[in-house]
Structure 1
Amino acid sequence: MSRHRRLIAAGLAAGAAALGLAAARPHPRGVPVLVAARDLPAGATLSTSDVGVRTLPARAVPDGAVRRAAGRTLTGPIRRGEPLTDVRLRGGSLLDDAAPGTVAMPVRLADAAVVRLLHAGDRVDLLAARAEGPLPARTVAAGVPVVAVPRPGPDPDEGALVVLRTGRTQAAAIARAAVDSRLSVSIVG
C-alpha cells in the first residue's frame, strides 16, 4: 500500500511540475486594445485620460475594436475595462454614414422619464397628441433611429431632448407637430 502511495505522490508531483512549466512558458503575444479607464457616461467626449490599453489574446479582441478614441463621443455608457469598439463611439457627426437628404432632428419629448429609456441605435415611432380635443395621437415619424440622447436639463418639467435621424420632409412635419402638440415616442423593434 505504501508503495502505491509513493507512486501516486510521484505522479502528482510530476503533473504539478508539468503544469508549472506550461504556465511559465511564454505565450503568443497579445493584441493591445483600447479600454475605458473608468466608468463613463453616455455622451462623454473621450480624452487620453479616459482610455487605457489592455493586452488581450487575439481571439478575445472584439470586432470593431478602435485604435484611436481621443476626441470621439460615447453613444452609451461604458464600464471600466470595457474594450472600445466602433459601435460605442460616435464619429465627428451625428450623420456619419447617412444617406443624402438625411438630417439629425432634435426633438423635445414631453416626458423626460421616457427619454431615459432611450439609447442611440433604438428605433422609435414619434407620436403627437393635442392636449385639447378628443383627437387620438397621430404618428408623425415611423421607425426612425435615435442617434443621440443628450444629458437632460435640470428641470424635468420641460421634457428632454432626443436626436432622431429623419428625412427633411419628416423633419418639417415634426417641427409643425411640436408647435401645437405634446410629443412622445414608442420604441419599436
Structure 2
Amino acid sequence: MFPGLPPARRRLRAVRHQLRRRRRLIAATLAAAAVFSALRTLAPPPPDTVDVLVAARDLPAGSLLGDDDLVRRAWPAELAPPGAADVAAGRVLAGAVGRGEVVTGVRLVGPDLADAEPGRTVVPVRLPDAGMATLLRPGDEVDLMATDPGTGESELVAGGVTVLATPTGVPEGPAGGSGGALVVVGTSPAEAVAVAGSALTHYLTVSWR
C-alpha cells in the first residue's frame, strides 16, 4: 500500500488511514455519548413513593376484606390519596371499590367513615325489613320514617340523610325484633338524637326522594 517506506512507517500510515476513514463514526459515537450523559444529568430524580393498599379486584359495598382482596403497591407520594388505609384486612367496605383503586379510611366502616360527610354524625340504623336494606346503595339520599307499631302512624324523623354503608348477605323480607338489617347513615347531630330515640320504640323505614 505504501511501497518504499520502512515497515514501521507503513504501519503508522495504515493506522492513520483507518482512523481517517472511521473518524465520522467515532465522532458520532462520542456525540451520542455526550448527549446521553447530559440527559441523565438534567433528568429529574425518580419521585418519592409510599406503600398503599389497593383492591385486587372489584369489591362491592359490604364486603368483608381478606388478605387476598388487597395488594400493597408503591404509589407516587404526591398522588397518594389522603387517608389511605394502612391496614384493611378484616374491615368492612362502606362503599364499592374498583380493581386497582387505593383503599381509604372513608371507604371502610369505622370512625373514618365520618370524613365522608363532614359536619355530619354517623348513625347505624336497623331496618326491620332486611329486603329494604338490600335496595340501598352508599351515596343514596333518603328520608327516615318512624312507624308506631301500635297505631301504625308514621312520622319523618330525619330528611335527606346520606347512606354511607349497606349490608350484604342478609335475608329478604321482614324480620322484626332483633332481626332486620343495619345500614349506616350520615345525619345532623340533632337528627341523630331523634333517630336513636325513635329506634327504641318505633320501626324505622326509608323513603326515596
TM range (shorter): 0.5 to 0.7
CA pair 44-92 structure 1, distance change in 2 beyond 3 A = farther
Q: Distance between the aligned counterparts of 1:53 and 1:30, measured in 2?
A: 12
Say whether the 8 Å CA contact 2:145–2:156 is kept in structure 1: yes
- Consecutive unaligned residues of structure 1, counting only runs of 5 or more, are 1-9, 97-101
Residues paired across the two proteins, number = 157
Aligned to 1:57: 76
Q: Distance between the aligned counterparts of 2:112 and 2:103, measured in 1?
A: 18
More strand by percentage: 1
Q: Distance between the aligned counterparts of 2:67 and 2:111, measured in 1?
A: 17
Q: What is the percent sequence identity of the aligned residues?
A: 39
User: What amino acid sits opposite 2:144 in the alignment?
Assistant: L
Say whether the 8 Å CA contact 1:106–1:162 is kept in structure 2: yes
Q: Deviation at 1:60?
A: 1.3
Output one character per residue of 1:91-123: Cα deviation in whole Å (capped at 9) or x when no partner.
389899xxxxx86331235863x743431x655
Say whether the 8 Å CA contact 1:95–1:104 is kept in structure 2: no
CA pair 169-59 structure 1, distance change in 2 beyond 3 A = closer
CA pair 103-136 structure 1, distance change in 2 beyond 3 A = closer
CA pair 95-49 structure 1, distance change in 2 beyond 3 A = same
Aligned residue among 155, 164, 170 for 1:138: 155
Q: Distance between the aligned counterparts of 1:27 and 1:150, measured in 2?
A: 43
Q: Deviation at 1:74?
A: 1.1
Output one character per residue of 1:22-81: Cα deviation in whole Å (capped at 9) or x when no partner.
6xx762342221111122222222222221112222221111112222222211121111
Bigger radius of gyration among the two: 2
Q: Distance between the aligned counterparts of 1:29 and 1:117, measured in 2?
A: 40
Q: Distance between the aligned counterparts of 1:58 and 1:162, measured in 2?
A: 37
Say whether the 8 Å CA contact 1:109–1:162 is kept in structure 2: no
Q: Deviation at 1:152?
A: 5.1
Q: Distance between the aligned counterparts of 1:93 and 1:33, measured in 2?
A: 17
User: What amino acid sits opposite 2:143 in the alignment?
Assistant: D
In the TM superposition, what are the counterparts of 1:148-167 in structure 2 within 5 Å?
Answer: 148-151=165-168, 153-154=170-171, 156-158=172-174, 161-164=181-184, 167=192
Aligned to 2:105: 86
Q: What TM-score, normalized by structure 1, do the two folds share? A: 0.59
Q: What TM-score, normalized by structure 2, do the two folds share? A: 0.55
